């Protein structure tokens, strides 16, 4: 059984003001295996974030079935950790309180909360900043807190919605390396949304290329280049060429159609 099963997912947004419907996701079928690192790659507006939100339970598909660990997704829950594009931390809580927030909601005592959260502070390299508020930390540090917060819940899948898009190039590279290290160490299933071909190829072992609106899956590419990946190696470039060709083919088809 796959960790995530998407069956015939259709999402239609009704635009009430203009009185028309917008087909955003058109019949998505996808299986994601446990411990996969899957990148959903596509241009802006292709519905990749919508698809992620459907898995997270933030949005409901118009039709189709979404199963996580064989269970139908109906609402958000701590079995699916989400890392948002903006860190979306509680600004009134310190780093450690943000990370341990899930434990607080479960009514676990403070000492144990902090004890368990410290492991994740260490994991994301924020030792010494555990009592800082989000406004006192950089965007990259906040995003580390966001990742630690999702990991602490020990979810069966982690859903990431362009979490590094707002970071500078250097921080982004560091965070990508660390994320891969964390994924290798903890063996979890990650679904990572991105519009960057390079990012998808650095991170994923399965890259799902989506088409522009309405969102469909163009191709799911398996990519098992050993890590750490050399982004200048011929294998990396071959894969990049293949994916770029898929995307280009798509845009020519669109140009001809219009």
Partner 1 sequence: MTSVTDVSPARPAFRLTRAFQGLERLVVPALLVAGWEAFACSGMLPPALLPAPSAVLHALGDWVFGFDETTQTYSGHWLRDALASALRVFGGFALASFFGVLAGVAIGWSRLFEKTLEPTLQMLRPIPPVSWIPLAIIWFGIADKPAIFLVFLGAFFPVLMNSIHGVKTVDHNLVRAGAMMGANGRQMLTDIVLPAALPAIFAGLRIAVGSAWMLTVTAEMVAVKSGLGYVLWDSYYFLRYDIVLAAMISIGLLGYLSDLGLKAIMARTLRWQQTTTVQGRVG
Smaller CB distance to partner 1: residue 158 or 202?
Answer: 158
H-run or E-run covering 177? helix 169-186
149 binds partner 1 (CB under 8 A): yes
How much of the chain is helix, strand and coil, in % rounded to 5?
40, 25, 35
Spatial distance between the Cα atoms of 242 and 175, rounded to a whole number of angstroms = 26
What is the C-alpha to C-alpha distance for residues 226 and 150, in angstroms, rounded to an integer? Answer: 26
Q: Taking the C-alpha atoms of 82, 32, 69 and 212 in order, what is their torsion angle to the nearest 10 degrees?
A: 60
Say whether residue 75 binds partner 1 (CB under 8 A): yes
- Write the CB contacts of 78 (distance below 8 Å, at least 6 apart in sequence): 102, 153, 155
81 binds partner 1 (CB under 8 A): yes
How far apart are CB 75 and partner 1 at their closest, in Å?
Answer: 7
Q: In this complex, which beta carbon is closest to partner 1, that of residue 83 or of residue 207?
A: 83
Q: Which two tokens stand for residue 156?
A: 């069966």
Does residue 122 bind partner 1 (CB under 8 A)?
A: no
Omega before 214 within 30 of 0, i.e. cis: yes
Stretch that binds partner 1, among 15-23, 69-77, 184-192, 205-213 (CB under 8 A): 69-77
Query: Is position 62 an interface residue for partner 1 (rule: CB under 8 A)?
Result: no
Q: Which residues ranging from 191 to 230 are in contact with partner 1 (CB under 8 A)?
A: none
Rounded least distance, CB 133 to partner 1, Å: 5
Q: Is there binding between residue 163 and partner 1 (CB under 8 A)?
A: no
Q: Which of 3, 4, 28, 56 binds partner 1 (CB under 8 A)?
A: 56
Q: How far is the CB of 16 from partner 1 (least distance, A)?
A: 18
- Residue 153 in the binding site for partner 1 (CB under 8 A): yes
**Of residues 14 and 92, the one with the C-beta less far from partner 1:** 92
Report CA dihedral (57, 193, 166, 59) to the nearest 10 degrees.
-20
Residue 165, SS3 per DSSP? coil
Cis bond leading into 251, ω under 30°? no
CB of 50 to partner 1, least distance (A): 14
Q: Tell me how far the alpha carbon of residue 162 is from its chain's centroid.
A: 6
* Binding window for partner 1 (CB under 8 A); candidates: 87-95, 168-176, 191-199, 246-254: 87-95
* Phi, psi angles (nearest 5°) of residue 249: -55, -40
Examine residue 164 and tell whether it contacts partner 1 (CB under 8 A): no
User: Binding to partner 1 by residue 116, rule CB under 8 A?
Assistant: no
Distance (Å, whole) CA 130 – CA 104: 16
Which residue in the set 10, 35, 114, 133 belongs to the binding site for partner 1 (CB under 8 A)?
Answer: 133
Residue numbers of the site for partner 1 (CB under 8 A)?
56-58, 75-78, 80-82, 84, 86, 88-93, 101-102, 104-106, 133-138, 149, 153
């Amino acid at each position: 059984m796959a960790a995530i099963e998407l069956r015939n997912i259709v999402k239609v947004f009704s635009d009430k003001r203009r009185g028309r419907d917008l087909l955003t996701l058109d019949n998505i079928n996808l299986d994601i295996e446990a411990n996969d690192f899957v990148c959903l790659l596509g241009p802006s507006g292709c519905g990749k974030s919508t698809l992620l939100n459907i898995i997270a339970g933030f949005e409901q598909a118009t039709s189709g079935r979404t199963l996580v660990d064989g269970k139908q997704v109906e609402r958000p829950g701590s079995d699916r950790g989400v890392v948002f594009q903006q860190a979306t931390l509680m600004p009134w809580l310190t780093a450690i309180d943000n990370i341990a927030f899930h434990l607080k909601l479960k009514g676990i005592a403070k000492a144990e909360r902090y004890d368990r959260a410290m492991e994740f502070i260490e994991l994301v390299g924020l030792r010494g900043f555990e009592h800082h508020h989000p406004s006192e930390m950089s965007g990259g540090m906040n995003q580390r807190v966001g990742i630690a917060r999702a990991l602490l819940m020990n979810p069966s899948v982690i859903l990431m919605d362009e979490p590094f898009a707002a970071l500078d190039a250097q921080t982004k590279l560091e965070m990508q390396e660390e994320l891969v290290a964390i994924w290798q160490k903890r063996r979890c299933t990650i679904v990572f949304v991105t519009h960057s071909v390079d990012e998808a190829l650095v991170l994923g072992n399965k890259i799902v290329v989506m088409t522009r609106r309405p969102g469909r899956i163009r191709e799911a590419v398996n990519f098992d280049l050993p890590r750490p990946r050399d982004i200048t190696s011929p294998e990396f470039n071959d894969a990049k060429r293949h994916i770029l060709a898929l995307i280009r083919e798509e845009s020519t088809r669109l140009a001809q159609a219009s």
